[in-house]
Structure 1
Amino acid sequence: MKKTAHIISHTHWDREWYLPFEQHRYYFIKLMNNLLEQFKKEGNAFESFHLDGQTVLLEDYFAVHPENREAVTQLITERKLHIGPWYVLQDAFLTSSEANVRNLQIGLHDVKQYGHVSKLGYFPDTFGIYGQAPQLLKQAGIDTAAFGRGVKPTGFNNMVSDSPNFESPYSEMIWKSPDGSNVLGILFANWYSNGNEIPVDEEEAKIYWNRKLQDAEKYASTNQLLFMNGCDHQPLQHTIPQAINAAASLFPAYTFKHSSFDEYITALKENLPEQLQVIEGELRNQRTDGWSTLVNTASSRIYLKQWNNRCQTLLEKIAEPLAVMDFLAGGKYPREYLRFMWKSLMKNHPHDSICGCSIDEVHREMVTRFEAVSQMGEVFVQEHAAKLADKVDTSGGPEGGIPLIVLNTTGWDKNEVVTKTVDLKVVYFSEMHFEQIPAYLKEEETSAYRLVDEAGNNIECFMEKPVVEFGYDLPDDKFRQPYFAKRAKLSFAAEDIPAFGYKTFYLIPSEQPEVVMQEQAVNDDMEMENEYVHILFHEDGTYNLTDKATGNTLTQLGIYEDTGDVGNEYMFKEASNHPPITTKGVRAEFRLMERTALRTVVEFTHTLTIPASADVQLEMERNSLIWHKERQAGRSSETKTIILRTTVTLEKGMKGPIFKLIIDNQATDHRLRVLFPTKLKTDTHYADSIFEIVSRPNTHDPEWENPSFCHHQQRFASIADNEVGLTVATDGLQEYEILQADGTIAVTVLRSVAELGDWGYFPTLEAQCLGIHSAEWQVLLHEKDVIAASAYVDAYQYKVPLQVIQTNAHKGILPSEYRFVKWESEGLAWTSMKLAEDSDDVMLRWFNPAASSVQLKASLDTAANSYKSTIIEEQSNHSSNQYIVAGYEIITLGFRKGERL
């Protein structure tokens, strides 16, 4: 049968990478203008162009050329220019579960105005792909995915290795998620540039096609051959019609077609063999030598991952649920502003951006974007929390009491020690001359206070000494109102705060003395404990952690390890001939910072001497473009001192201690990790991934040669035997490794390198991360594994704080304690609550982390029943309030708009 060569013109457009965004945009505008001219040519045989699967590029173009919107729209409608389905080509592992969904939702929402979307799960250069991608795609009505990485070695300058041992013998395969969902997978086995710069000259074309046809046929399972006419930032090839004519005349046994993915996939499906290789779960290049997996982008410029985690949490775990709660109480849901915040954040999500593997200018601009998203999210939460508080009836509290409403925006009931700065007395400039107010407030006697709940029960609390500070209001109906306030920090145990709900407390004057901090001397045996755990510190800063319920103890956790790194922003390579330096046995200086009935805080400091940098050979190897695998550079004989200052906090109700490390990094070319040697004997471990708590082997496949076996994580990594488990939950620390010798979880907290690391030498001095950096994590000791013990609930709630709003006594439509959503299920993990993109239906999402089915019951007071939806919020006609959730299933429920409160 005659074979068809499908030639798809495209460009893979990283918005920022080896050039900053605006310089890349300059060249993209040239490309788009040339493309429009090409399509206009009379008698033109230029049929199609694939615009890289991301709609953000149209925003980038129309910001400069809004007058061309109609012409571009017509090309899309006519299916000549192919766009979507994503908003950006994100990194799959370093962006959250909900960020991956929002990326698809917003991309599909935006393409509606253009009339046609490319229904292809397009992952051309994604640095590995999560295992639940087929389930997400199928729920979005997409049954085919195309990807360049994950199943075949790809190295320096995107050179594809011809290894015989990759997972599929064909470039076509079946890709299956843990729940059984599957899509047709198309691997760019010869990369997405295998049809680039096709010659028109007959002699050149003969040589070109003799090689290219053979390369494609080697992996194709059908007579439909794919040739990608483009590459990274590739300009338009105007001569494609002539090049196709030349090829057709030289190779009459083939049909050469200027094609699109729509056409290619249709023809491919009609010719697929009955059996294709089935690839299950994650695409992480497990069956390669391990030297080009790009996994260490998870630890490049860790400060970016920390910023991203905080911004994602702010939007998806606080702002969106809070906006829904206010909506259900009669408020307006600001859908457009939420979408704007998400778009602003997702502009930092492309793989060369969030991965930290671009030039320094790119990442400076990213920090500015993160700051902007943080500013937007913070004022959004502040305003909507205040609006919701205004609707709560606080008139029944004790006379003279200051109402404090504690909001829980997560899907689980929550216990947490909260700290809130409370204004005890406020004097506005309109009431007294501003120069007199501070003295007046300082001189006024401050009474003692106590905290009570709605029933009048005393709540354990601690208040710091009041201070006088400036503040201001921004009313909706008048000019800004400045004031001075006497205010104090109040800490208290907020217990049993309902999921998707709130509880009201009252701070009232009292004759009882204020709670004071209990000072204690530091002993050689520094200890901390609450109702759940006991911690005993050793003089080197390591500690024994005991679960008080079971008596299980893990010993000497928390060792810091420093290793030389002569790799780059993409990959770690340990320096030669220099063993790791650790804090084991290095005496730490301890200081007790706080000890009350609510909280104990201990600080300890290490002074660690390490090599100042790599040795001089590394600079030669960088300039010579020696691939990281082949480098032999070691560490310098010159040394530097780095200060590691660790603060440990254990509060009432915490399931495990929280650590914050402040690093004064004065050295270059190195990696710092914190080690948790569990001594647990097991072959596998768990890690939080995208809609999955994935089980991974502790040892690599036979093909793996790299001594390092690092992995991505979202919120946590966990290891367990049949009795004991340890989970390390983190705040934007997304790289870990399991050291098989003693079951150690090794979490990277800092990595310092100095070059981009692809297709040339691009120095990136700011990737050395000199100066002050921080890292935070929580250590959870539990029975069995993280799923069986439901320890993932605590890990997911880590760094999602309760919101505390000070208000006044007033009438309201809401009671003093309320739960907006009720749900019951043993074993589901909640991920989001929002309104639908195109309706006022309330959408809630969970996933099942286990293989067994579970039951889910969910209801709103304003909606008796719900419907089962997809991730793109398609409504079903079935109405219920009870569902069976299959193993590993992602379930979204929609609650149709009813009468609001």
Structure 2
Amino acid sequence: MSVTATKQTAYIISHSHWDREWYMSLEEHRYYLVKLIDDVLNQLENNPDFHSFHMDGQTIMVDDYLEVRPENRERVEKQIKEGRMVIGPWYILQDAFLTSSEANLRNLLYGKKDMERWGQEGGIGYFPDTFGIYGQAPQILKQANMGVAAFGRGVTPTGFNNQVFQNEYSSPYSELSWEAPDGSSVLGILFANWYSNGNEIPVEEEAAKNYWNKKLEESGRYASTKHLLYMNGCDHQPVQTDVTTAIERANQLYPDVQFKHASFQEYVANVKNDLPESLQTIQGELRNQKTDGWSTLVNTASARIYLKQANDHSQTLLENYVEPLGLFASDRSFYRSYTEYFWKLLMQNHPHDSICGCSVDSVHREMATRFEKVSLGAQKFLEEQMQQVTQTIDTTHNNPEAIPLVVFHTSGKQASKVVKAKVMVKKIYFEEMDFQKIPEKLNSEELPEYVMELDDGREISCDVKDLGVRFGYDLPHDGFRRPYYGREVEVTFLQEEANRVGYNCCFLIPHTSRGNKESLIWNSKEKRLENETVVVEIHANGSYSLTDKRTNHTYPLLGIYENTGDIGNEYMYKQSSDGNAITSANEVADIEVLEDSPLSAKIRLHSSLTVPLSADEQLQKEREKLIWHPERRAGRSDETTVIPICTTLTLDKGANGLKVDVAMDNTGRDHRMRALFPVGGKAEHHYADSIFEIVKRPNEPEQEWTNPSVMHHMQRFVSMNDDRFGLTIAGKGLHEYEIIDKDTIAITLLRAVGEMGDWGVFETPEAQCQGINHASFMIIPHESSVLESKAYLEAYSYPYTPPVVQDSQHPGELPKTGTEFHWEGDLALTSVKVAEGESGTVLRWYNPNNHPVTLSLAYPDAAECYLSDVLEQKNDRLGGTTINRTVNPFEIVTLVVTKKKEKE
């Protein structure tokens, strides 16, 4: 497009892309944030030509500022209400692929809630530097009444120091149509020349001419309209205080162009009015598929995996336990406040340079503390809330020695699980006798045999393990702490439930021993684990073969470990120049039996892998010279080290797959460890769990791809199949995989590197992840694909086990069994929570299938049920206690149910 073809308008938007923590810690960055916002306020208050300042699509920047400058609250509120300090729609700029589906929505929900609190409306889907974006973003934005997404990555290739490569894009214009799998479409605004293309505008005439001649040509090359976007700022950029003077100079020099200081809202509104009749349509995920593959930043999925695991634990705790239990809460306002607190604390670990593990060490040490705060705080909150509920349940039994155990079903998913619960079969409080004598008295008493009686009177077998004497304490609501010693046992039993949210009371009852006639899962003679569904043969090298008894198909030699050198950084993997892969195929593993019962068997395999101690000396030289990772040539050292590996295999009664826990004592540096799972079949495509989507991806990249590695993101699982059989690997905080030779799934368990990378020399020795590292996953065999077999339901339920609360016998207003709701349909349930702002329960599913599915919901205590959007705004009324609704292919559907007697 010629610069002088029509009267053009150049919109200059002042902003600062604010990575809350990155190459400095939070508090170091905050110092500059406070100075920035002080300057912004002065500009907004004293310069009428300074139209507005864009706060990077976040609301947390305001919170961070006011923690230091609370005296400026009224000044900030005034500018936000007037739309001159533009905040939101997100709480923070989080990574898209490494945070859960619901975490992405909570980020939007609480960001919008903050905007409302500050008196601002609107917003666009702002993803300036997100490391790729999930394909369902357009549907989410449309449901949130936002029809525009602005982003920098995913369509155009970017390289070292965020340089944009000026070659062919997936779209010829910086404006495009972005379409989700369900057909929802938004206007996409691509930062074709990055989000700093209007940074540091000169005032001096000659410099301004040189600047704008270049900038007008660059932007005009990709603009589909006469409206040109210039982002006046960059990462942690101070506000340009003379920007309006620079704009005056530009208007003097270029009479055919109107330069103006503006907001995104003004720019977007004018672009929409002048769009061409047709735009290029980009469908689904934005992951830079049509690039050379060296700058996609996908390997942030494996940087500091311990952070991803802590995040997965916290998300699961909030989504599958804390939020659903709110349906039983007596004070829902209290519950909403606490869950928002925990979510916001957790999301402070979700910015793309934080959860991605690509910051300096001090940042990630602080993240570990935040994760611990969420985990401990939310767990205690959950325990206290469950105790309050159990106090209202009738737990009486005709046997006074029966111990009530209330099992909560909070995930709404199939919960047929082997459950382990710790039970105090006898307590003696310090007030009852000399506390020093209590342990001896408790240890002297012989434990009886036990049986488990369900709420319907049926007796089932259980396994009881004596844990000895434990110290504990009660925290009464109306008194001081009461310490005690107790005799504790671990009870293991099988809990079978359908797709519901509720509870049931069962009883641990002393019983005369009847002998154990049930067959064991572990066969020591044949080194085999077997239950109703699968057979696991353990091999001498520590690998294992898995046979699906339903199909009689065997997957051989699973779980071989592979080690390669890594001379990349926290952002990107680059294999060392030797090109060698060291595997455990020829190692020898020792077997240790940890548990052996009819309900569960747990076998530990002890092995080790000898690998080079580190990269060779050339790597440090390449780091210091800022040699970009594709050009690095370092090898691995001649000195070696031994990495001990403990692999624990667990097979439960009734389970449809094998659970695996790996502990590695990482004594090496500059390397990557993966587990290999041969599936066979030479498939052309595979499936991976993503954000509200089970995405189908090709096993081979686009022709533009030159990186020897082709890694991908996954949320909960990756799956591959041929025409008849498939294998799904579900992980906990394991987000990186690769498909090798079209027939093997490789899951990254550990990646150890020593630098942050990107644009400077930032050494990160703690990213080497020295010491014990863990990895947990489940191997699920099935017929056909993960969708057709519905194996995705098993994968989603893998991290969840129903929580159990021990109580005393007492009468209560609630029956021994209670159900809030029950549902059916080939859908994935993602959320059960108390509604925001008013009475009601929020239920959310998505349809992973390419065909319509009927959702059937039975909610006995419902008064009304409404179709909602992702922000929980009620739309169409659907009915009352029973709902049947067709869910379209790939649709995200949210219902808000109000009960006949809401508890507030």
Please state which band the TM-score falls in when normalised by the shorter chain: over 0.9
Q: Which residue pairs with 1:91 in the alignment?
A: 95
Report deviation, 1:410.
Answer: 1.2
How far has the Cα of 1:409 moved from its partner? 0.9
Q: Counterpart of 1:886?
A: 888
1:295 paired with 2:298, answer yes
- Residues 329 and 335, structure 2, Cα contact 8 Å, conserved in 1: no
Match of 1:748 in 2: 748
Looking at structure 2, the residues matched to 413 and 683 of structure 1 have their Cα atoms a distance apart, in angstroms, of 31
The DSSP-based 3-state class of the residue aligned with 1:128 is coil
The alpha-carbon deviation at position 859 of structure 1 amounts to 3.2
C-alpha distance after superposition, 1:725-782 (max 9, x if no partner): 10000000000011125x1010000000000011111000000001111000000000
| Structure-2 residue corresponding to 1:82 | 86
Superimposed CA distance per residue, residues 355-391 of structure 1 (whole angstroms, 9 cap, x where no aligned partner)? 0000000000000000000011100110111122122
**Post-superposition offset of 1:519:** 9.9
Report what 2:557 is aligned to: 556
Amino acid at match of 2:895: L
Please state if 1:844 is matched with 2:843. yes
Q: Rate the CA distance shift 1:682–1:840 in 2: closer, same or farther, 3 A.
A: same
Aligned with residue 48 of structure 1, among 42, 45, 52: 52
Give the C-alpha shift of residue 653 in structure 1: 1.7
How far the C-alpha of 1:515 sits from its partner, in A, is 6.5
Matching residue of 1:190: 193
Provide the C-alpha distance between the structure 2 equivalents of 1:511 and 1:62, rounded to a whole number of angstroms. 66
Give distance in 2, aligned partners of 1:393 and 1:521.
Answer: 39
Q: Deviations over 1:212-256 (max 9, x none)?
A: 000000100000000000000000100011100110111111000
Seen in structure 2, the aligned counterparts of structure 1 residues 466 and 373 have a Cα distance that, compared at 3 Å, is: closer
Aligned residues: 895
Q: Distance in 2 between matches of 1:107 and 1:592?
A: 50
Say whether the 8 Å CA contact 2:863–2:899 is kept in structure 1: no
1:559-570 correspondence runs (5 A): 559-570=560-571
Amino acid at match of 2:132: G
8 A Cα contact 1:867 1:877, kept in partner: yes
Deviation of 1:497 after TM superposition, in Å, equals 6.2
Determine the structure 2 residue equivalent to 1:103. Answer: 107
Equivalences for residues 361-376 of structure 1 within 5 A:
361-376=362-377
1:438 aligns with 2:439: yes
Q: Is 2:739–2:746's contact at 8 Å kept on the other side of the alignment?
A: yes
1-structure distance, mates of 2:101, 2:823: 21
**2:662 alignment counterpart:** 661
Q: Please list, as runs of the form range in 1=range in 2, the aligned pairs for 1:117-266 lying within 5 A after superposition.
A: 117-164=121-168, 166-266=169-269
Equivalent residue, structure 1, for 2:738: 737
SS class of match (2:878): coil
2:15 equivalent to 1:10: yes
Aligned-partner Cα distance in 1 for 2:517–2:622: 60
The change in CA–CA distance for 1:583 and 1:522 in structure 2 (over 3 A counts) is farther
Q: Does 1:649 align with 2:645?
A: no
> Displacement, 1:432?
1.6
Distance 1:221 1:524 in 2: 72
Cα separation, 1, equivalents of 2:404 and 2:579: 60
Is 1:769 aligned to 2:769, yes or no? Answer: yes
Give the letter aligned to residue 885 of structure 1.
Answer: V
Give the aligned partner of residue 818 of structure 1: 818
**TM-score by structure 1 length?**
0.97
Distance in 1 of aligned mates of 2:268 and 2:299: 34
For the 8 Å contact 1:497–1:503, the answer to whether it is kept is no
> Counterpart in 1 of 2:809?
809
Give the 3 Å change call, closer, same or farther, for CA 367–785 of structure 1 in structure 2.
same
CA contact (8 A) 1:661 1:774 kept: yes
The secondary structure found in structure 1 opposite 2:857 is: strand
Question: CA shift at 1:113, angstroms?
Answer: 2.0
Report what 1:597 is aligned to: 598
Percent identity, aligned pairs only, is: 50
Aligned residues of 2:414 and 2:797 also touching (Cα < 8 A): no
CA-CA distance at 1:874 after TM superposition: 0.8
SS in 1 for 2:416: strand
Q: Structure 1: how far apart are the matches of 2:279 and 2:521?
A: 68
Partner of 1:342: 343
Contact 1:301 1:356 in 2 (8 A): yes
- In structure 2, relative to structure 1, the CA distance for the partners of 1:331 and 1:234 (3 Å cut) is closer
Distance 1:167 1:378, change over 3 A: same
| Residue 39 (1) aligns with residue 41 (2) | no
Instruction: Report 1:326-405 matches (<5 A).
Output: 326-327=329-330, 334-396=335-397, 398-405=399-406
| Residues 15-66 of structure 1 deviation map (CA, whole Å, 9 limit, x = unaligned) | 000000000000000001111112222x532111101000001010010111
Partners of 1:11 and 1:234 within 8 A in 2: yes
Structure 1 stretch displaced more, 413-422 or 773-782: 413-422
Q: Does 1:502 align with 2:500?
A: no
Q: Show the counterpart of 2:328.
A: 325
Q: Cα RMSD over matched residues?
A: 1.6
What residue is the counterpart of 1:315 in the other structure? 318
1:457-494 superposed Cα distances (whole Å, 9 cap, x missing partner): 22121111251111100011111111111111111112
5+ residue gaps, structure 2, are 1-5
The runs of at least 4 aligned residues of structure 1 exceeding 6 Å deviation read 513-522
Spell out, residue by residue over 1:852-872, the C-alpha distance to the aligned partner (whole angstroms, 9 max, x if none). Answer: 011112132221541100000
TM-score (norm 2): 0.97
Is there any run of 5+ residues in structure 1 with no aligned partner, and where?
none
Shift of 1:416: 1.0
Asked if the contact 1:135/1:181 (under 8 Å) is kept, the reply is: yes
- TM-superposition CA deviations, 1:257-289 (whole Å, max 9, x none): 101001000010011000100000000000000
CA–CA distance in 2 between the matches of 1:476 and 1:207?
Answer: 72
8 Å CA contact 1:520, 1:592 repeated in 2: no
1:466-545 correspondence to structure 2 within 5 Å: 466-496=467-497, 499-512=500-513, 525-545=526-546
Q: Deviations over 1:762-814 (max 9, x none)?
A: 00000000111100000000011111111111101111111011111111222
Q: 1:452 is matched by which residue type in structure 2? A: E
Residue 84 of structure 1 and its aligned partner are, at CA, apart by 0.5
Question: Which residue number corresponds to residue 790 of structure 1?
Answer: 790
Q: Distance in 2 between matches of 1:315 and 1:15?
A: 23
Distance in 1, Cα, partners of 2:398 & 2:787: 41
Q: Does the aligned pair in 2 maintain the 1:859–1:865 contact within 8 Å?
A: no
Pair 391,514 (structure 1): closer, same or farther in 2 beyond 3 Å: farther
Correspondent of 2:71 among 67, 73, 97: 67
How far has the Cα of 1:86 moved from its partner? 0.2
Q: Determine if the alignment matches structure 1 residue 27 to structure 2 residue 32.
A: yes
Q: Distance in 2 between matches of 1:201 and 1:412?
A: 65
Q: Does 1:57 align with 2:58?
A: no
Three-state SS of the structure 2 residue aligned to 1:719 is: strand
CA distance in 2, matches of 1:155, 1:132: 26
Q: By how many angstroms is 1:351 displaced?
A: 0.1
Whether the aligned pair in 2 keeps the contact of 1:862 and 1:900 (CA below 8 Å) is no
Corresponding residue for residue 876 of structure 1: 875
